[in-house]
A and B are shown apart, each in its own frame.
Chain A
Amino acid sequence: MRKILSRYRYYIALFLAVLGPGFITANVDNDAGGILTYSQAGARFGYLPLWSLIPITVLLIVTQEMCSRMGVVTGKGLSDLIRENFGLRITFLIMALLVLVNLTNVMSEFAGVASSLELFHVSRYISVPLSAVAVWFLVVKGDYKSVEKIFLFACLLYVTYIISAFLVRPDWKEAAIYSVKPVMVFEPSYIYMLIGLIGTTIAPWMQFYLQSAVVEKGITPGEYKASRLEVVVGCVMTDVVAFFIVVACAGAIWSVRPRDIETAAEAALGLKPFGKYAFILFSAGLFNASIFAASILPLSTAFTVCEGLGFEAGVNRRLREAPIFYALYTLLIVVGAGVVLIPQFPLIRMILWSQVLNGMLLPFILIFMILLINQSDLMGEWVNPRWFNVVAWISIVLIIGLTLAYVGILVRGG
């Protein structure tokens, strides 16, 4: 008995040692854009779309697991590997697209900060500059370990969505049934919504961030099993949060009157009739998610780009040693936060375009990933087993098909 207990303790210690990369990546995924998409789904279609969260979780796990495995085995970031195996030109193209996509993502995060705090009557001209400065300092002045702890704490704050869903008193029986019962409605807006859910869940930046974080943490092949578990748990947790967001909006908005909402703040307001706390928790969750993603995206982008193009990168370098890294990092924050303050800036249009670019970039990255992970000189015995390749290729073709469809709809509609 004692032996079993000490074994158990050993595994927990191992899990804690690798805790970080997978959790953080998966949770940042529920950013301002993600929350909006889930809220829209719940507000318009109620409990119907819940079933899609299970296949989405599977797709997320399949892609994330490959990245973390590549990081563990090669000790190199994804942009490093792309550069070394596909050359400078392709890397440059991908990095240029990534900067564009992530810049618009950063804009939507700061827009999330602005609108969530406006619900508490804080002007965006105060909240956005303050958040931008805070984000800049947090990452530049902090070291990886302490920053990671702050981020892990931010992951915990997503629990606000779970509580607010309970406060709304949704129809749990319906929620349970539709979680496992796939319902297709052949209506353009429903299909569009389903594709949108996948589009916001699997994004190009995550692949880069996760792999770099795994490398930075120095996870060894010996710890890989624990690391894989961490990635899987992180992915599941993300979609559990997504579930509660959909349910909260279904209970609060759809059950009263199904309608389209345009911002996550609108969803928060929809919760107001169900009590002050439901509203406050939902809005606080939005703020947490936005600022969390706003801290990670610029850093991850600058790091990935510099890594791929061979410039010095990392917050442990001085400004003079890594000028391009800091310039890019600062630029992303300043521009991302700045445009939110420009009156009449076509932000919604920008975010739409970022989704389109996202969709154009993602296929390349997923295909590069699967090509890389099957190279035996790189991965040795850790290449994809055949069954996993089948699963991975099916997932990738599915994601690419849906993403392209999403882009098609966006371009035609926008």
Chain B
Amino acid sequence: MAENLLYFTELVSMPVFDLKGRRIGRVKDAAVVPLVDSRRIDRLLVGGADAWLTIRYDQVRSIELGKGISLSDEQLVPYHDDEYMLRIARDLLDQQIIDVNGRKVVRVNDVTMEIRKDHGRDTVAVLEVDIGIRSIFRRLLQGVLPPRWIRRLQARIPPNSIPWDFANVVEPDPLRRLRLNISYQALEKLHPADLADIVEELSRAEREAIFETIDSEVAAEALTEIDPKMQASILEALEPEKAADIVEEMAPDEAADLLSELTEETSAEILGEMDSEPKTEVRELLEFEEDTAGGMMNTEYVVLHENAGVIDAMGALRGNEDLLEQLNTVFLVDAEERLAGAIPLARLFVAPGGAKLQELKSEPLIQVTVDEKQDRITELFDKYNLLTLPVVDEDGKLAGVITADDIISVLRQK
């Protein structure tokens, strides 16, 4: 065990001595001031005779396990609740934090710190947040056995810690978040499905705090992965503007499904805040019953005139780059916008450049009307091994498409 390591449980209750070696009291808590330094223990709070005193980091001469803390300056001020302090015992210990690297919610048992020499004095820096059995063991025995014995005993248990940089504290209060310099930017880099799993673990207030602050696009992607009931409660709690921003980023079919879960009032409020284009699409989709083709379809597809050629198709794809990840079929319509054919994307690549799209059509053309029932649609996907199924309205005009991932969601819910 490295000598310069110090666990928070060891720091707490360490005696503090003034310049003449008289004992002032014991350490009660320690605080980081994230706005100044994200790692350094900036203040030690000491329980004196009647009130708590604050020790600044530069008032400490030495910190040694088994001996205690000696000061270099004894002009101590009484402690008053400082809003810029992240207090380890109060705000971190026993609370839940997000392990960004391990992509899960964990509970803090202890904090591992390091004693560093700095201008001839000892300062303490936070290294890791401890979770798992070893830190539970350490905390249960602290004060019962001498610290060095505990260190020796715990050596047999494998450690389980999260580097401080990956530990994301969750704070529902926006003002306090600002003062403590807490952001959720690190969460934006997670896969939306992982982020969804994480927020499902948190309490309602914490969940809302995260969705309030992260980027709307990430929020939209994560939201679609969350349990539908929870989606609704999150959106209801957000400011309508923010909710609208998130809904705009969602695929129209998913947005419509989500809005239909909300109370009419909230859903109207959110729609009111949305930009006009996505709003009309979502509004139209909201008209359909949930378990019909109209309710399942989305309106993100690429469509071309039936006389177009391969070159035109390539151009259309370039113009719709945001759709490419999910796209596997392009559609043809006639002059009246009636569906005339479907072309698997791969065929475009092997076709000669001058070919007409007409010649590449899949036969027969499989399509359903907006009021087709969900069960029948699932059957079609199974029977014809479809990836995409076009949906037409009563006039035969293309209204939307249903993709295989919609079918998977339907089947999963059964």
Chain A contacts to B: CB under 8 angstroms: 74-76, 80, 83-84, 87-89, 91-92, 218, 220, 309-310, 312
Known A88-B94, A310-B106, A310-B109; contact A218-B140, beta-carbon cutoff 8 A: no
Query: What is the distance, in angstroms, from A72's C-beta to the closest C-beta of chain B?
Result: 9
Q: How far is the CB of A234 from chain B (nearest CB, A)?
A: 21
Considering the chains assembled together, what is the distance between the CA atoms of A84 and B96 in angstroms?
9
Q: Given contacts A83-B107, A92-B136, A310-B131, are A75 and B94 in contact (CB under 8 A)?
A: no
Select B229's contact among A83, A88, A218, beta carbons within 8 Å.
A218
Does chain A have a CB within 8 A of B213? no
Chain A residues whose CB sits within 8 angstroms of the CB of B93 once the complex forms = 87-88
B94 pairs with A83, CB closer than 8 A: yes
Q: How far is the CA of A218 from the CA of B236 in the complex (A)?
A: 14
Question: Judging by beta carbons under 8 Å apart, are B205 and A75 in contact?
Answer: yes
Interface residues in B130-182 (C-beta closer than 8 Å to A): 131, 136, 139-140
Q: Is B191 interfacial (CB-CB < 8 Å)?
A: no
- For residue B94, which residues in chain A have a CB less than 8 angstroms away from its CB? 83-84, 87-88, 91
- In the bound complex, residues from chain B placing their C-beta under 8 Å from that of A75 are 202-205, 207
Are the C-beta atoms of A220 and B107 separated by less than 8 Å?
Answer: no
Contact with A218, one of B95, B136, B202, B227 (Cβ below 8 angstroms): B227
What are the residues of chain A within 8 A of B386 when measuring CB–CB? none
A220 to B229, CA, bound (A): 10
The residues of B that contact A92 with a CB separation of less than 8 Å are 136, 140
CB contact list, B98-125 vs A, under 8 A: 104, 106-109
Given A76-B203, A83-B94, A310-B131, also A220-B233 (CB < 8 A)? yes
* Minimal Cβ-Cβ distance residue in A for B229: A218
Query: Does B230 sit within 8 A of A, measured CB to CB?
Result: yes
User: Is the CB–CB distance between A310 and B107 below 8 Å?
Assistant: yes
B-chain residues with CB within 8 Å of residue A80 when the two chains form the complex: 96
A84–B109 Cα distance when bound, in Å, is 11
Q: How far is the CA of A83 from the CA of B202 in the complex (A)?
A: 15
- B205 closest partner in A (C-beta): A75
User: 11 A-B contacts, Cβ less than 8 Å apart?
Assistant: A74-B203, A75-B204, A75-B207, A76-B203, A83-B94, A88-B94, A91-B94, A92-B140, A218-B233, A310-B108, A310-B136
A25 to B204, CA, bound (A): 23
9 nearest A-B residue pairs (beta carbon): A310-B107, A75-B203, A75-B204, A220-B233, A218-B229, A76-B203, A88-B139, A84-B94, A83-B94
B140 close to A84 (CB less than 8 A)? no
Partner of B95, one of A84, A91, A312: A84
Taking the nearest CB of chain A, how far is it from the CB of B148, in angstroms? 21
- Cβ contacts under 8 Å, B96 to chain A: 80, 310
Kindly state the separation between the CA atoms of A88 and B89 in the bound complex, as whole angstroms.
Answer: 11
CB contacts (< 8 Å) of A310 on chain B: these are 96, 106-109, 131, 136
CA distance A220 to B237 in the complex (A): 11
Q: Residue A89 contacts which of B106, B139, B204 (CB distance < 8 angstroms)?
A: B139
User: Cβ of A312 and Cβ of B205 under 8 Å apart?
Assistant: no
User: Chain B contacts of A220 at CB under 8 A?
Assistant: 204, 233
A89 to B109, CA, bound (A): 11
B413 nearest CB across to chain A (Å): 10
B136 cross-chain contacts in A, Cβ below 8 A: 88, 92, 309-310
Q: Specify which chain B residues have a CB less than 8 angstroms from the CB of A88 in the assembled complex.
A: 93-94, 109, 136, 139-140
Q: Which residue of B lies closest to A314 (CB)?
A: B201
CB-defined contacts of B131 to chain A, threshold 8 Å? 310
Inter-chain CA distance A33–B233, complex, in Å, is 40
Complex CA–CA separation, A166 to B133 (angstroms): 55
Instruction: Please give the distance in Å from A235's CB to the nearest CB on chain B.
Output: 25
Query: In the complex, A84 Cα to B170 Cα: how many Å?
Result: 14
Interface residues of B (CB under 8 A from A): 93-96, 104, 106-109, 131, 136, 139-140, 202-205, 207, 227, 229-230, 233
A70 to chain B, nearest CB (A): 11
Name A89's closest neighbour in chain B (CB-CB): B140
Across the interface, which residues of B come within 8 angstroms of A89, CB to CB? 139-140
Given A80-B96, A84-B94, 18 other A-B residues pairs in contact with their CB atoms under 8 A: A74-B204, A75-B202, A75-B203, A75-B205, A76-B203, A83-B107, A87-B94, A88-B94, A88-B109, A88-B139, A88-B140, A89-B139, A89-B140, A218-B227, A218-B230, A220-B204, A309-B136, A310-B107
Q: Within the assembled complex, what's the spacing in Å between the Cα atoms of A199 and B173?
A: 42
Distance of B112 from chain A, by nearest CB (Å): 16
Q: Which residues of A contact B95 (CB under 8 A)?
A: 84
Distance A218 CA – B202 CA, assembled complex (angstroms): 11
Q: Could you tell me the distance between the alpha carbons of A88 and B207 in the complex, rounded to whole angstroms?
A: 24
Pick from B204, B227, B230 the residue with the most CB of A within 10 Å. Answer: B204
Query: In the assembled complex, how far is the CB of residue A356 from the closest CB belonging to chain B, in whole angstroms?
Result: 24
Residues of B within 8 A of A83 (CB): 94, 107
B108: A residues at CB distance < 8 A: 310
Report the minimal beta-carbon distance from B57 to chain A, rounded to whole angstroms.
26
Q: How far is the CB of A222 from chain B (nearest CB, A)?
A: 8
CB-defined contacts of B140 to chain A, threshold 8 Å: 88-89, 92
Smallest beta-carbon distance A148→chain B, Å: 14
Contacts of B205 in A (CB 8 A): 75
A155 to B109, CA, bound (A): 39
A75 to B206, alpha carbons, bound, how many Å? 10
> Cβ of A87: which chain B residues have Cβ within 8 Å of it?
93-94
Closest residue of A by beta carbon distance from B143: A89
| Min C-beta distance of B31 to chain A, whole Å | 18
Judge whether A312 and B109 touch: CB under 8 Å: no
Q: Which residues of A contact B104 (CB under 8 A)?
A: 312
* Nearest opposing residue in chain A for B207, CB measure: A75
Scoring B94, B202, B227 by chain A CB atoms within 10 A of each residue's CB, the highest score goes to B94
Query: How near does chain B come to A83, taking the closest CB pair, in angstroms?
Result: 5
Residue in A76, A89, A310 with the greatest tally of chain B CB atoms within 10 Å: A310
Which residues from B are CB-within-8-Å of A309? 107, 136
Chain A residue at minimum C-beta to C-beta distance from B204: A75
A84 surroundings in chain B (CB, below 8 A) = 94-95
B98 to chain A, nearest CB (A): 13
Complex CA–CA separation, A76 to B94 (angstroms): 14
Task: State the Cβ distance, B209 to closest chain A Cβ, in Å.
Answer: 12
Report the Cα distance A80→B95, complex, angstroms: 9
Query: In chain B, what residue has the closest Cβ to A312?
Result: B104
Closest to A307 in B: B107
Residues from chain A with Cβ under 8 Å of B204 in the complex: 74-75, 220
Q: Which residue of B lies closest to A84 (CB)?
A: B94
Docked complex Cα distance between A88 and B136 (Å): 8
| Shortest beta-carbon distance from A147 to chain B in Å | 16
* Complex-state Cα separation, A313 to B207, whole angstroms: 19
In the complex, how many angstroms separate the beta carbon of B203 from the nearest chain A beta carbon? 4
- Chain B residue contacts of A218, Cβ below 8 A: 227, 229-230, 233
- B107 (CB) vs chain A CBs: closest residue: A310
Question: Which residues of chain B have C-beta atoms less than 8 A from A76's C-beta?
Answer: 203
Question: In the bound complex, what is the Cα–Cα distance between A80 and B227 (angstroms)?
Answer: 22
Least distance between A223 CB and chain B CB atoms (Å): 9
A92-B229 Cα distance, complex, nearest whole Å: 33
Q: How far is the CA of A309 from the CA of B136 in the complex (A)?
A: 8
Residue of B whose beta carbon sits closest to that of A324: B133
Q: How far is the CB of A81 from chain B (nearest CB, A)?
A: 10
Nearest-neighbour CB distance to chain B for A373, whole angstroms, equals 15
Query: Residues of B contacting A74 with CB < 8 Å?
Result: 203-204
* A317, B53: Cα distance in complex, Å: 46
Of chain B, the residue at the smallest CB distance from A17 is B229
CA distance A106 to B104 in the complex (A): 32
